[in-house]
Amino acid sequence: MEVVIVPDAQAGGRLVADAIARLLRRKPEALLGVATGSTPLPVYQALTGLVRSGDADVSRARIAQLDEYVGLPAGHPESYRAVVLREVVEPLGLDPSAFLGPDGSAADVQAACEEYDRALKDAGGVDLQLLGIGTDGHIGFNEPCSSLASRTRIKTLTEQTRVDNARFFDDDIAQVPHHVITQGIGTILEARHLVLLATGENKAEAVAQSVEGPVASLVPASALQLHPHATVVVDEAAASKLK
Ligand code: F6R
């Protein structure tokens, strides 16, 4: 695992966007796994800048979602499909048909999960998976105690994660769904390159445990230690509890 410490979130965004641009030069049709939440936004902004300046070509890139809320009405602005369309697909000028995601409103959620794992395989697998990290060490929505071999499946969000995400729902925890579909840790580990980005002091403890602690299901992001090509990009605040 490689750990890169950058001065701030913008620098982290530029560094990861540059890595994506390099990958696309090597493999123009790369499948990029994208996360939602606040952390990756500087990456998408920096990548949009590179596309506009002609330094990145995303015209053949494909996008895969990491997770999705279950039970939000179709078209809800905070469904992760809507967020990825708004923050990634539209600014980058990608065709929405180049975008894979699990169906959070499927009548048979279990079947939708299995279908998504199959779709990722059929698409040739994720080339670069961008990850954020929860304050409790989750990746995707694999909360503490998730199996390190887990596949895409339905999960219940912890109270802490619902509190953390209430800011996207008018600061009203009652509006935050209880369930999500998330790529499993085993699914995530199949991506060819994992890039975890963490910024801010509130991620420092989770980062330290993931990078320097034992590999344990109690800290799902510690599974990155098992991956042959994992990069952890942290700003100085998120790095502050590393030894
Ligand atoms: C979202 C996701 C989550 C977030 C994590 C951090 O797709 O997979 O694991 O990355 O909850 O969220 P932020 O970046 O908002 O702190």
**Complex prediction ipTM:** 0.99
The residue nearest atom 3 of ligand 1, judged by CA position, is 140
CB 132 less than 6 A from any atom of ligand 1:
yes
The residue nearest atom 1 of ligand 1, judged by CA position, is 36
What letters, b where the CB count within 10 A reaches 16 and e where it falls short, cover 40-66? bebbbebbbebbeeeebebeebbbbbb
Residue with tokens 């961008």: 130
Query: pTM value?
Result: 0.97
Residue 224's Cβ-count burial label (10 Å; 0-12, 13-18, 19+) is buried
Fold adopted by 2-228 = Rossmann fold (3.40.50)
Instruction: Quote the DSSP letter at residue 53.
Output: T
Structure confidence at residue 73 (pLDDT) = 83
Segment 57-101, tens digit of pLDDT: 999 999 999 999 998 987 899 999 999 999 999 999 999 999 999
Q: What CA–CA distance (Å, rounded) separates 92 from 47?
A: 8
Instruction: Quote the DSSP letter at residue 88.
Output: I
Structure confidence at residue 79 (pLDDT) = 96
Residues 215, 226 contacting (CB under 8 angstroms): yes
Phi-psi region of 125 (alpha: psi -120 to 50; beta: other; left: phi over 0): left
